[in-house]
Amino acid sequence: MTDNAILTITALQERVEAIFAKAGLNPVQAAALARVIVAGERDACKSHGIYRIEGALRTVKAGKVRPDAVPEIVEQQASAIVRVNANGGFANPAFELGVPHLVARARSHGLAALVVNDCTHFSALWPEVEALTNEGLAALVMCPSYATVAPTGGNKPLLGTNPVAFGWPRRDSTPYVFDFATSVAARGEIELYRRAGKPLPEGWAIDAEGEPTTAPEAALAGAMLPFGGHKGSAIATMVELLAGIMIGDLTSPEVLDFLGTTTLAPRHGELVIAFSPEAFAAGRPGDPFARAEVLFDAILGQGARLPSQRRFAARQKSESEGISLSREEIAQLDRLLRDGLDSVV
């Protein structure tokens, strides 16, 4: 007898969508949110799977995101910028609304940007990246988060974990996709060390006095550090500038001011840049997609991995065998469906 239940991807989508509907989200919010959460679960990214439902509901309950928001395209003078206002809702339906426009403009102009404003963004960035690689476009995506990371040489939280994600479309394979925080570690990882009573690796964090620490409690009261020293710090700062300030949306310190906590999903904007490899390679020798395969083969030929390989393997398994959830997870989904917003504090 197994403790696990197997659900098809479609069945899990319906179940998660129903939870969000019960909690008061309108259909466009509920469906888009369920899609990214199910995608996380499908790809065995448990930290972006059904685990995230409660955080989304808490953010609704706290009044920090509008469950009935309807995103809309904002008329824009600049022809290579598509702007979607999420109108205080979640980022995901706003992103989905913008994608066809972004794709069309990237194809005609060679590159284009999608700006999502006034949204709550709690998912990974790879779903956004893959929505564009599916259209044969390369994509670079970034957003701020809450101020929890000190700049290199600094002593207190200022920058966010500011993820950056990139994708390159492949004709006969899953795309090349990376998606990572510009901090050494995620805040959740430090929390796991704390619960396990284990010291952190060196270089992850500083304490409230700005001194290096390996104590998880001291790290949580202090600040995380950027990956790769001053280089990662500079990239995280670029994310604040481009995907916060330039697009007229909140920076990571402003997000923290707005929420007053890191336990709710962050409110900010998002910047998505799409590139048409066909347009960029036009008139030049060689097919860019074939040439990229030579590079990937060389990486794999050294025994190195391509990013997201594990995720795509898990996806393939989920697509053929369904998604396996534990008895506790099923019980949690049942509880969330039954109690709606009452199930969270």
Identify residues 133-162 at the interface with a copy of itself (CB under 8 A).
138, 140, 150-156, 158
Q: Least distance in Å: CB of 250 to a copy of itself?
A: 10
Smallest distance, a copy of itself to C-beta of residue 78, A: 3
Asked if 65 is part of the footprint of a copy of itself (rule: CB under 8 A), the reply reads no
Residue selected from 6, 192, 221, 241 as contacting a copy of itself according to rule CB under 8 A: 241
Cα dihedral 250, 88, 165, 106 sign: negative
Interface residue with a copy of itself among 37, 53, 227, 329 (CB under 8 A) is 227
Tell me whether residue 288 or residue 322 sits nearer to a copy of itself (CB atom).
Answer: 288
φ, ψ (nearest 5 deg) of residue 340: 55, -135
**What's the rounded Cα separation, in Å, for the pair 65 and 46?**
23
Question: Shortest distance, CB of residue 208 to a copy of itself, whole angstroms?
Answer: 13
DSSP state at residue 213: E
* Tokens 């259209």, located at residue: 135
Q: With contact defined as beta carbons under 8 Å apart, do 97 and 82 qualify?
A: no
Distances 14 to 51, 282, 285, 338 between C-alpha atoms, Å: 16, 43, 47, 15
Smallest CA-to-CA distance from 19 within 11, 10, 30, 35 is with 30
Measured in residues, the chain has a length of: 345
Regarding 266 and contact with a copy of itself (CB under 8 A), the answer is no
- Of 198, 305, 310, 338, the residue at the interface with a copy of itself (CB under 8 A) is 305
Residue choice 171, 198, 231, 335 for contact with a copy of itself (CB under 8 A): 231
One of 230, 310, 327, 338 touching a copy of itself (CB under 8 A) = 230
- Of residues 67, 160, 266, 277, which one binds a copy of itself by CB under 8 A? 277
Q: Following DSSP, what letter does each residue of 12-45 receive, concatenated? A: HHHHHHHHHHHTT--HHHHHHHHHHHHHHHHTT-
DSSP state of 245: I
CB closer to a copy of itself out of 234 and 330: 234
Q: Using the minimum distance from each CB to a copy of itself, give the nearer residue, 188 or 248.
A: 248
CA distance 245 to 144: 10
- Which of 9, 11, 18, 281 lies at the binding interface for a copy of itself (CB under 8 A)? 281
- In the complex with a copy of itself, the residue whose CB is nearer, 257 or 342, is 257
**Residue 106, amino acid:** A
Instruction: Return all residues near 87 (Cβ < 8 A) that are at least 6 apart.
Output: 66, 69, 70, 71, 72, 118
The nearest distance, CB 137 to a copy of itself, in angstroms, is: 11
Site for a copy of itself in 75-94 (CB under 8 A): 76-81, 83
Q: Catalytic positions, please?
A: 47-48, 189
Asked if 102 interacts with a copy of itself (CB under 8 A), we say no
